[in-house]
Structure 1
């Protein structure tokens, strides 16, 4: 269990610290030139999470668990700070105190939800308090399906309006994932009676098919943006960022599918 704890902790931190670092960059690029204090804070968070990411990659898999437990606590503090920063920015936008800035309110809320998810994962790892598998399946899907729906909305709004076909495809994905997310919420509200293997298996299978399609769309968009073959204001790193998050969701869905199919995979092995 100590090896699993170290491996899972480092995997989570390596993935999500990069995400937090990139969030800092995206927020900074959306601020106005005169927002010097916010820009300064975003730069500081970018440096903090770049350092955390570097250190996470430097730890070997046989690191002493207590060292990693302490590292998790340190990272948790940093994530709590960036979560508070993101919520502060959201408040400023919603009270019209940053007129003319370019960060969508939904995007700022989105990145704060991801910070809160990361923070909760670190707490789970350090305390060892893990959800039963049926609860994990529903809760992970509710979280990630909304993330995927948000991504589709961002893509449709950041593509040039003249890219009509791609914009329409992104809008269709937005509607599809809104529907899937609401289905997940319905399944969640029916707990525990809804947590049968047949229902959860169908739930995972249906979502996985849709996530694969969205993942492939994101990959195509990322490649076209990198090759300057379509018109958009999407930063190439943002295109890759949302692709990696879809890949992450697919990995989790695959693990859930294996477990529900009878392969000996449990919540601890999937998320711990």
Structure 2
């Protein structure tokens, strides 16, 4: 149990701390020049998560679980703080107190990821290592919505002249919305024991769709890096969304392995 706890904790921190750092960068790039205070706050979070990454490099799979537990608490506090910052920014946008290039749905999206990260660390410190069937459905609801959002962002940030890619992004958005609704339906059926045999089919279906979206993101990322697509998509943002799709596939693998053991 201790080895699993340490491995899962370090893995979550390694992946999500980089994501949080990049969120801070994307927010800072989206603010206008007069929003210097918000830019400075975003840069402070970049520094915070860089320090976390530096501290993470001192840990290993053989680290003392109690030290890892303390580190989880420290990182949890950083994740909770950036969540509050993101919600503050969203409130300013929705109340028309600031005009920014950060879309409201994007700010909401990245705040949901911060909440997920904080909650995951809290669960690990409570000893929740292996996912239960209920958690499998909830986790897929979370990630399917993330994937649907990504497709929407890509569609909006591509130049309108990139008609084929815009259409592909819209198709992915529709497909993942449908998968999300299906997952929500399954979520409401969870108390019935008959739903558990459906989880394998549910995960297989999601895997096929996520792999397809992952490949689309990889192609888009490579074309953006080669300056062969007209868009407002930062090359790092393209890679960022690709890595999150890869992460979802890894999580589906973990879920399928846990179902096989049960």
- TM-score normalised by structure 1 residue count: 0.93
Matches of 1:69 and 1:259, distance apart in 2: 23
Q: Equivalent residues in 2 for 1:83-122 (5 A)? A: 83-99=83-99, 101-122=100-121
Aligned to 1:36: 36
Matches of 2:201 and 2:151, distance apart in 1: 23
**Superposition deviation, residue 67 in structure 1:** 0.8
Matches of 1:111 and 1:141, distance apart in 2: 17
Matches of 1:2 and 1:130, distance apart in 2: 10
Kept in 2, the 8 Å contact 1:134–1:195? The answer is: no
In structure 2, stretches of 5+ residues that fail to align are none
Aligned-residue Cα RMSD (Å) equals 1.3
Matches of 1:259 and 1:5, distance apart in 2: 15
1:58 alignment partner, SS class = coil
Kept in 1, the 8 Å contact 2:94–2:104? The answer is: yes
Matches of 2:197 and 2:69, distance apart in 1: 37
**Superposition deviation, residue 211 in structure 1:** 0.3
Aligned to 2:157: 158
Aligned to 2:246: 247
Aligned to 2:168: 169
Encode CA deviations 1:103-154: one digit per residue, 9 max, x unaligned: 0000000000000000000001111146762112101100000000000000
Of stretches 178-187 and 196-205 in structure 1, the one that deviates more from structure 2 is 196-205
Kept in 1, the 8 Å contact 2:4–2:129? The answer is: no
In structure 1, stretches of 5+ residues that fail to align are 267-272
Aligned to 1:270: none
- TM-score normalised by structure 2 residue count: 0.97
